[in-house]
Structure 1
């Protein structure tokens, strides 16, 4: 039986703590709640880590967060060897905020890269310090210094980043919103979540279920570490925090 977890992070990525109720325990000891602030691994972004505080004051360390039988079921995987809460118990959730914030900044940086390089995306992976986006490009024609400069122009412009929901019908009428070459966002739920950049989404708008900072300025200084050839028409751009290294 699959449960539906209310994903609070979809509307507010800045929630660091909240209270929830345990609704199920999986055969492998995973914890399912009625609501959560923990992002589940998806779309190239890793799931959150953190802890639960139990009613008796005990803590449960959470090592990873994943989806279950459906994307709506979110399972919190505790570190082995801990006493687990029981169904019906109330717990207080706390995510590892410094890690989450790095992932939010980096995920937003990946969106900015898709603006600078407007080509079909063939893959992506978000990490705390070194992320990648793969594009379907026969020949980049780009130097990493040029891409870095254009990324930083978007960062310095401090454009707002916000969430907008559209209907399945609106999404079907705007196929150009999808930047991924091989993966389409799930439809059929009645609405699609868009991550928008710029006033009235003038910089970018694309379907995404991840967590992002509230403005491009919050991304901070980033640079392209390298551009790698990963096939005849596939180029991998690696994004890193901080200024480019001095050669």
Structure 2
């Protein structure tokens, strides 16, 4: 897609910090609102549930030394605000309250490692992806396999770990919906189509290996994933196979 993509910068149309710097772990910010749905902050590091990736957990530290645990992060479907979920009996914070957000980095980093590995899995298995999901423990992709195509667990595991060991650079690029529509082969997920009406769509590029639309967070290099295991391969229909991977550590 020469001439049709560019690297994301701090001036981009998606200012969320989990996109601009997925490695940032602490942020000073203020409360915008706090109601039954949760807390909206003026700025956040927390990734909201979406694209098969879980919402982040974190801690809000207050000036008086107390703290609130963020148990999940979601994006409001109407307002598109990022809502940080806390216990129902947590003290209500008034608008303007200064807080420090501390991301649960260990959990997020495992999400990033597994998510990037799933992109590699989609390169090793050359078939349409019908679904996927991940957690801090494992990840899976479902594939629509051509008739007669068989999957070998050991072969897939070897290929994945070879791509990881090669330490390919991972970066973010931006393209237009029109440009992506002209190259549908980049859209690997059969069940979900990116919003092609948008002027800008986010792509994840694994240098020399892969380029595909994705709204999740990823590591900087494949070597950061570490060794992985193919836990199992399951049949989910006549043509549909589920491949489950996990981090070895």
Structure 1 residues 65 and 140, CA, compared in 2 at 3 Å: closer, same or farther? Answer: farther
Q: Name the structure 1 match of 2:220.
A: 214
Is 1:117 paired with 2:125?
Answer: yes
Is 1:74 paired with 2:87?
Answer: no
- Report the Cα offset of residue 24 of structure 1: 2.4
Q: Name the structure 1 match of 2:109.
A: 101
- Report the Cα offset of residue 25 of structure 1: 2.6
Whether the aligned pair in 1 keeps the contact of 2:177 and 2:195 (CA below 8 Å) is no
Residue by residue over 1:139-159, the C-alpha shift from the partner in whole angstroms, topping out at 9 and shown as x without a partner, is 541210000010011011000
Q: Name which of 12, 21, 27 aligns with 1:18.
A: 27
Structure 1 residues 162 and 71, CA, compared in 2 at 3 Å: closer, same or farther? Answer: farther
Whether the aligned pair in 2 keeps the contact of 1:32 and 1:74 (CA below 8 Å) is yes
CA RMSD for the aligned pairs? Answer: 1.8
Greater than 4 Å deviation, 4+ residue runs? none
Whether the aligned pair in 2 keeps the contact of 1:60 and 1:84 (CA below 8 Å) is no
Whether the aligned pair in 2 keeps the contact of 1:50 and 1:94 (CA below 8 Å) is yes
Q: Name the structure 2 match of 1:7.
A: 16
Using the alignment, how far apart are the partners of 2:187 and 2:228 within structure 1? 25
Using the alignment, how far apart are the partners of 1:90 and 1:96 within structure 2? 19
Is 1:144 paired with 2:148?
Answer: no
Structure 1 residues 130 and 154, CA, compared in 2 at 3 Å: closer, same or farther? Answer: same
Structure 1 residues 78 and 139, CA, compared in 2 at 3 Å: closer, same or farther? Answer: farther
Using the alignment, how far apart are the partners of 1:175 and 1:87 within structure 2? 45
- Report the Cα offset of residue 71 of structure 1: 8.1
Q: Name which of 189, 194, 197 aligns with 1:185.
A: 194
Residue by residue over 1:216-243, the C-alpha shift from the partner in whole angstroms, topping out at 9 and shown as x without a partner, is 0000000211110000110000101218
Using the alignment, how far apart are the partners of 1:71 and 1:132 within structure 2? 31
- Report the Cα offset of residue 65 of structure 1: 0.5
Query: Which secondary structure does the structure 2 equivalent of 1:225 belong to?
Result: strand
Using the alignment, how far apart are the partners of 2:79 and 2:125 within structure 1? 29
Paired residues in the alignment total 235
Query: Which secondary structure does the structure 2 equivalent of 1:42 belong to?
Result: coil
Q: Name the structure 2 match of 1:31.
A: 39
Query: Which secondary structure does the structure 1 equivalent of 2:71 belong to?
Result: strand
Whether the aligned pair in 1 keeps the contact of 2:49 and 2:55 (CA below 8 Å) is yes
Query: Which secondary structure does the structure 1 equivalent of 2:121 belong to?
Result: helix
Whether the aligned pair in 2 keeps the contact of 1:125 and 1:132 (CA below 8 Å) is yes
- Report the Cα offset of residue 91 of structure 1: 1.6
- Report the Cα offset of residue 57 of structure 1: 2.6
TM-score of the aligned structures, taking structure 2 as reference length: 0.89
Query: Which secondary structure does the structure 2 equivalent of 1:180 belong to?
Result: coil
Moved more, 135-144 or 108-117: 135-144
Q: Name the structure 2 match of 1:162.
A: 171
Is 1:41 paired with 2:43?
Answer: no
- Report the Cα offset of residue 211 of structure 1: 0.8
